[in-house]
Chain A
Amino acid sequence: MNIGFLHSQIRADEKLLLNELRSRGHNILKIDVRKHLFSIKNPASELVDLDIVIDRCIAQSQSKFSSLFFCKYSIPVINPPSVVENCSDKVKTSLLLEHAGVPTPETIVAFSAESAIEAIESFGYPCIIKPVVGSWGRLLAKIDTRNAAEAIVEHKATLGHYEHKVFYIQKFINKPNRDIRVVSVDGSPIAAMTRTSDHWLTNAAKGAIAAEYDIPKEVLDLVKKSSEVVGGGLLGIDLMELDGGGFTVHEINPGTEFKALNSCVEPDVPSLIVNWIESTVNSKRGNS
């Protein structure tokens, strides 16, 4: 197959995928998103024979916009722009999950500092404030007091990007020192892990300890439904266990990393991802 590999910085995850793709004899065209020029008319000549493009850009803005061009060029892209859009914008993800009846943390969005404080007070303390776009647990705040709320909201209102003035406020979930990451392809899990930390943030990027997780039926169902809601594709779906039993889906990652998962589970994660990529190309060929 002729596979376009859209990238910026190459992490261990991208190397795992590239090595797996090359070991199977696929022709890989690396496309550095920072260097490629995207015309609204036609694809560059080196792109025309591609069977598929795998988007592994590290910046969500690059994924969001560049994937639009592959759609325009009629070149399938993993993940499609609608999936990137649905997942990288936390407001959109929350709305979609809620609409589909997937349990997700109670969330309020406010557009001024005053209404943000009102939303925080309505949840009580602690509660969580997150940037609408962001990852790796960065710029998330657990707010324990009114004083902290006022300081954080004032900082967000004053500093940085205009999106920080969209206050995304979430009820704090008292999870058992861990959350769950399921990597799935079109709703079918490839593997899952728990991420355990003494810190309230349990992202692998924050140093949480990864361990293999046997997926119960309830989580299987939630992963399938969550994937459907955002449009499928290759996803990292994050869930938390609830105090009284059950689960809540708090995040869906459209550019999921999997090196931590691959290091703690028996299945070969990049191999299973490439199996799915190959079957996706073959089914598109069969349909055309």
Chain B
Amino acid sequence: MTTTHCVECGSDIILSEDVETGEILDCDSCGVELEVIGIDPISISKAPELEEDWGE
């Protein structure tokens, strides 16, 4: 099990085995959306704000 910390509130974030660079995660503690920006070593940042043309 890999853990890291929320860049907003510092709470533990548990990452799945198959974590991907670019993956979006939610912090269970403060609710902020995070993006995994590197996996070796694990690095996360706040996810970008939603843009108008995002979607399916």
Q: How far is the CA of A215 from the CA of B56 in the complex (A)?
A: 22
Contact of A14 among B20, B36, B47, B48 (CB under 8 A): B20
Cβ-defined contact, B22 with A8, below 8 A: yes
Q: How far is the CA of A253 from the CA of B35 in the complex (A)?
A: 24
Query: Chain A residues near B35 (CB, 8 Å)?
Result: 9
Cβ-defined contact, B23 with A10, below 8 A: yes
What is the chain A residue whose CB lies nearest that of B16?
A: A15
Using C-beta atoms within 8 Å of the partner chain, give the interface range for chain B: 10 to 19
Cβ-defined contact, A19 with B55, below 8 A: no
Most buried by B among A15, A18, A32, A256: A15
CB distance from B42 to the nearest CB of A (A): 15
Cβ-defined contact, A253 with B56, below 8 A: yes
Using C-beta atoms within 8 Å of the partner chain, give the interface range for chain A: 20 to 34
Query: Chain A residues near B48 (CB, 8 Å)?
Result: 9
CB distance from A104 to the nearest CB of B (A): 18
Cβ-defined contact, B55 with A136, below 8 A: yes
Contact of A59 among B18, B20, B23, B51 (CB under 8 A): B51
Cβ-defined contact, A10 with B55, below 8 A: no
Query: Chain B residues near A19 (CB, 8 Å)?
Result: 18
Cβ-defined contact, A133 with B24, below 8 A: no
Any chain B CB within 8 A of the CB of A135? yes
CB distance from B25 to the nearest CB of A (A): 10
Cβ-defined contact, B20 with A58, below 8 A: no
Q: How far is the CA of A9 from the CA of B48 in the complex (A)?
A: 9
Q: How far is the CA of A18 from the CA of B47 in the complex (A)?
A: 21
Cβ-defined contact, B22 with A59, below 8 A: no
Query: Chain A residues near B47 (CB, 8 Å)?
Result: 9
Cβ-defined contact, A59 with B24, below 8 A: no
Known contacts A9-B47, A9-B48: A255-B55 contact under CB 8 Å: yes
Any chain B CB within 8 A of the CB of A130? no
Cβ-defined contact, B56 with A236, below 8 A: yes
Q: How far is the CA of A253 from the CA of B48 in the complex (A)?
A: 22
What is the chain A residue whose CB lies nearest that of B55?
A: A135
Cβ-defined contact, B53 with A61, below 8 A: yes
What is the chain B residue whose CB lies nearest that of A58?
A: B54
Any chain A CB within 8 A of the CB of B40? no
CB distance from B35 to the nearest CB of A (A): 6
Cβ-defined contact, B22 with A32, below 8 A: yes
What is the chain B residue whose CB lies nearest that of A257?
A: B56
Q: How far is the CA of A62 from the CA of B35 in the complex (A)?
A: 18
Cβ-defined contact, A7 with B56, below 8 A: no
Digitize A1-42: 1 where CB-to-B-CB distance is under 8 Å, 0 elsewhere. 000000111110011001100000000001010000000000
Query: Chain B residues near A135 (CB, 8 Å)?
Result: 54-56
Any chain A CB within 8 A of the CB of B21? yes
What is the chain B residue whose CB lies nearest that of A137?
A: B55
Digitize A53-77: 1 where CB-to-B-CB distance is under 8 Å, 0 elsewhere. 0000011110000000000000000
12 intermolecular pairs with C-beta atoms under 8 Å apart: A8-B22, A9-B22, A10-B21, A10-B22, A11-B24, A32-B21, A133-B52, A138-B55, A161-B52, A253-B55, A255-B56, A256-B56
Closest 9 pairs between A and B when the two form their complex, measured CB to CB: A135-B55, A10-B22, A253-B56, A10-B23, A60-B53, A10-B20, A255-B56, A257-B56, A61-B53
